[in-house]
Amino acid sequence: MTVLEIRDLSVDYGQGDDAVHAVSSVDLTLERGEVLGLAGESGSGKSTLAHAMTRLLPPPGVITSGEVLYHGRRSSSDGPVDVLGLTPKELRAFRWSEVSVVFQGAMNSLNPVSTVEQQLGDVFRAHRRDMTAARRTERSRELLDLVGISADRLSAYPHQLSGGTRQRVMIAMALALEPEIVVMDEPTTALDVVVQRQILEKMMRLREQLGFAVVFITHDISLLVEFSDRIAIVYAGRVVEQAPAREIYRAAAHPYSRGLLNSFPALHGERRPLTGIPGSPPDLRHVPSGCPFHPRCPSAFDPCDQDTPALVPLGEHRSAACWLHTTSPRRRSGVGAT
Ligand code: ATP
Ligand code: SF4
């Protein structure tokens, strides 16, 4: 069951010739209760996609095309909620209750002069006006317990908490209104690896317990493969492959996905040489013609620098945008094939 559907979403920063085309014609779906990982080099557009789908895009970011449709519990018999069409008031009700976000620096956005209890209480005061003070405290205790923090920390100020505990408080806040979708953009990058893993394991257990779906963004491909059900690989603002995490890890279909995976040590099995990807990501003001990966692709052949491959299904659960997997007229006639 699809909970969020992104159709043909494009985002630019700025306008005219100098506009940065950060997200281009992205189609993605998020299923109820799944963890969808977004992978790609720095600057590939992952955060912009996350900001756009939650309507948190800061200026000069502009959504130039597309739709974001929410099929969760607030959708009515009239159909899904058109997220991009929500009024500011509707958006305030939608955020936190239906979709919440945990960003990398979230732990630093706690108010330094308010206790944990006051800050959790603020969420309820803003969104659950009929909640009594006693119920707010009770619910705040439950939430701290949920994320593995002792209830006596309710009276603590942020400076009295470790980075890991502050990030757990942010996760508690994100879960306070039991949203159906939690977007986690580099949620643990600022923390040491042990705390990082503890928090992610906790988050995934909570996901099983509470049933929310997660959009998970991290630079660490190993973590992404381990914690995601499905992965979408993003290059130059486009989704170039999506598939179940295990399938991508076992045999990526897109040369860029392979390059990305070969830039990280293997999780299991035999050691493999780390090869990396030659060259650098393109300037998103001037994306290369044809397949945007062609200047760096070890498998590029004749049509790649001219014709843009579409994201097409390769079997039931996988899709990729690469001419290697489709039969172009030129390949059929054998011109330039390698
Ligand atoms: P990272 O992993 O480093 O966070 P990312 O994949 O999330 O990178 P984005 O941060 O979404 O990528 O950036 C996508 C593109 O948009 C990049 O080329 C970036 O330089 C550009 N960009 C992001 N924010 C702005 C902005 N405020 N103004 C102009 N360009 C921007
Ligand atoms: Fe490489 Fe061509 Fe496939 Fe692009 S379309 S990834 S350049 S083989």
* Predicted pLDDT of residue 337: 41
Domain 2-86+209-325: CATH architecture, name and number where available: 3-Layer(aba) Sandwich (3.40)
Determine whether the shortest distance from the Cβ of 293 to ligand 2 is under 6 A: yes
Ligand 2 within 6 A of CB of 255: yes
Atom in ligand 2 nearest the alpha carbon of residue 304: 2
Q: Which atom of ligand 1 is nearest to the CA of 58?
A: 27
HSE on the CB side for 17, CA within 13 Å?
0
Tokens in use for 120?
């959790």
Q: Which is nearest to 219 in space by CA: 195, 251, 199, 196?
A: 196
pLDDT value for 271: 66
Chain segment 265-298, per-residue pLDDT in tens: 766 666 667 777 889 999 999 999 999 999 999 9
Ligand minimally distant from the alpha carbon of residue 324: 2
Q: What is the pLDDT of residues 201-221, one digit of tens each?
A: 988 999 999 999 999 998 888
From the CB of residue 75, how many other CB atoms can be counted at a distance below 10 Å? 15
Residue nearest to atom 19 of ligand 1 (CA): 43
Atom 18 of ligand 1, residue of closest alpha carbon: 43
pLDDT reading at 336 higher than 80:
no
| Atom number in ligand 1 closest to CA 59 | 27
Peptide bond into 179 cis (omega under 30): no
Mind listing the pLDDT tens digit for each residue in 155-205? 999 999 998 899 899 999 999 999 999 999 988 877 788 888 888 898 899
> Ligand 1 centroid to 5 CA: how many Å?
22
Task: Note the pLDDT tens digit of each residue in 83-99.
Answer: 999 999 999 989 889 99
Reported as a single tens digit per residue, the pLDDT across 299-318 is: 999 889 999 999 999 988 99
Residue 292 Cβ < 6 Å to ligand 2 = no
* Rounded distance between C-alpha atoms, residue 26 and residue 235, angstroms: 11
For residue 183, how far is the Cα from the chain centroid? 6
The pLDDT value given to residue 335: 45
The string over 255-292, giving b where at least 16 C-beta atoms fall within 10 Å of a residue's C-beta and e elsewhere, is: bbbbbbbbebeeeeeeeeeeeebeeebbebeebbebbb
Task: Ligand 1: list residues with CB < 6 Å.
Answer: 13, 20, 22, 40, 42-48, 60, 284
Q: How far, in Å, from the CA of 290 to the mean position of ligand 1?
A: 22
Ligand 2 nearest atom to the CA of residue 299, by list position: 8
- Residue 70, ligand 2, Cβ within 6 A: no
